[in-house]
């Protein structure tokens, strides 16, 4: 199954406003493709010129200033590539309603068809159901699943400009894999394969009882050896084990 993990960085939290000049805009979008919960390596990434200022408190989150963004394309110039990349795949985001609102606001300005609720999967809702009462921010989940083991610099995200749409999408892909039990499923699958391939090794050992010989074998001990053995048994006393089994 093909799915798209995505994230957006914006100028604020209000995609719609009575005054068009006051609408917050997307300044970065990142997408990661997965198939059957595995990253394929295909990604989409774009910085966007918002045609408005970027408040300093927001810059402290993603580090993107207007001086940098005004040299990049506007959303209408990348919408074709973006829509082609996502296709008809489900869109997975953390706190999906936020990103959905911004995407649809941009699509509306371009007179494009909006993305319906059925297209979106919210990992925040999944995490809250799995870990009730615990912090379920993307950073908290990354720490819970120890994503630093996979090369993610979680400490750097605490500093100014530590967040980015593409790196957040990559982190989200790994978080989504854990939330869906992907690693456990793979382990179970691999174990099943191993059991199938080594069934002969894992089969229980069966012991077959042999029937006694119809005629006992003739003793190989000499007469002197048999006499020495009898003398030894006599020294063991009347309760010697040999007397009980002979």
Name the E strands within the chain: 2-10, 26-35, 38-47, 91-93, 120-122
- Are 205 and 71 in contact by the 8 Å Cβ rule? The answer is no
Query: Which whole-number Å values give the CA distances from 141 to 62, 112, 126, 154, in the listed order?
Result: 19, 34, 11, 11
Q: Which residues of 166-194 are buried (b: 16+ CB within 10 A; e: fewer)?
A: bbbbbbbbbbbbbbbebeeeeeeeeeeee
Catalytic hit among 17, 72, 94, 163: 163
| Six token digits for residue 142 | 């990354």
User: What is residue 4's three-state secondary structure?
Assistant: strand
Who's near 17: CB < 8 A, 6+ residues apart?
Answer: 23, 24
Three-class SS of 30-50: EEEEEECCEEEEEEEEEECCC
| Six token digits for residue 107 | 């699509």
Any catalytic annotation for residue 163? Answer: yes
Active site residues: 163
């Amino acid at each position: 199954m093909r799915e798209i993990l995505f994230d957006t960085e914006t100028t604020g939290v209000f995609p719609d406003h009575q005054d068009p000049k006051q609408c917050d805009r997307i300044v970065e979008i990142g997408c990661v493709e997965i198939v059957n919960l595995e990253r394929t390596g295909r990604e989409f990434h774009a910085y966007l010129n918002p045609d408005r200022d970027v408040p300093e408190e927001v810059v402290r989150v993603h580090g993107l200033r207007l001086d940098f963004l005004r040299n990049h394309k506007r959303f209408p110039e990348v919408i074709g590539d973006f829509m082609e990349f996502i296709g008809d795949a489900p869109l997975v985001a953390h706190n999906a309603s936020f990103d959905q609102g911004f995407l649809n606001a941009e699509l509306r300005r371009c007179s494009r068809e909006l993305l319906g609720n059925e297209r979106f999967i919210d990992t925040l809702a999944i995490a809250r159901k799995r870990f009730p009462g615990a912090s379920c921010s993307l950073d908290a989940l990354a720490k819970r699943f120890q994503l630093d083991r996979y090369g993610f610099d979680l400490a750097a995200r605490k500093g100014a400009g530590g967040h980015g749409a593409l790196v957040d999408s990559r982190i989200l892909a790994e978080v989504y894999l854990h939330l869906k039990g992907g690693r456990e499923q793979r382990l179970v699958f691999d174990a099943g394969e191993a059991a199938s391939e080594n069934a002969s090794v894992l089969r229980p050992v069966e012991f077959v009882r042999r029937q006694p010989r119809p005629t006992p074998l003739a003793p190989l001990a000499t007469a002197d050896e048999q006499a020495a053995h009898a003398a030894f048994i006599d020294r063991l006393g009347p309760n010697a084990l040999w007397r009980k089994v002979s």
